[in-house]
Amino acid sequence: MRVITKSTKDWITKIKVNIKRKDDCGDLPLPAYATEGSSGMDLYADVKGQPVIRPGDIKLVSCGVYLSIPHGYEAEIRPRSGLALRHGITLVNTPGTIDSDYRGLVSVILTNLGREDFIVKRGDRIAQMVFKKIAVAELVVIDELDETVRSAGGFGHTGI
């Protein structure tokens, strides 16, 4: 058994991401990691009043911030597991992607897969954001692909 002696911080890549608050969002926390081991930063709801997401509804909810993500990175927006488990709240396009050249308002597309109405309150943690390094593919057109054991086996080809 190999024992890792380096601290967690030695294995983490840090990037600087510029952030700007929406004018009326000074009361909301900036996205933040909940614990030292968190890979995702919590995003907070920038809502007026208390909008209701009924079962089956889809709503765009602002997070009240704008980002400048370094070239070569993206931010993936993911559901929060607690909201999914307790209320059936998830993201329609999960993971969502914020490209490095996007400068618009960060918002999430919430949907309610649960059985009861869900009320969104200002400052609720509604999603999480993970920064990822990206690779850019150069496509090469060929006549035949190489063979593998799986080959064209698709959905469910290995059984249940």
- Tens digits of residue pLDDT in 5-20: 555 566 788 999 999 9
Structural tokens at position 33? 């990691």
Q: How confident is the model at residue 157 (pLDDT cuts 50, 70, 90)?
A: low
Task: Give Cα 116 distance to the centre of its chain.
Answer: 24
- Tens digits of residue pLDDT in 43-57: 999 999 999 999 999
Among 46, 15, 42, 10, residue whose Cα is nearest residue 28: 46
- Tens digits of residue pLDDT in 110-148: 999 999 999 999 999 999 999 999 999 999 999 999 998
Average pLDDT, the chain: 92
Can you give the pLDDT at residue 101? 98
**DSSP state for residue 11 in the 8-state scheme:** G
C-alpha 19/C-alpha 77 separation (Å) is: 16
Task: Give residue limits of the domains in the chain.
Answer: 23-133
Q: Is 86 helix (H, G, I), strand (E, B) or coil?
A: helix
The CATH architecture of the domain made up of 23-133 is: Distorted Sandwich (2.70)
Neighbour count for residue 103 (Cβ, 10 Å): 13
Structural tokens at position 1? 């058994």
The model carries a pTM of 0.86
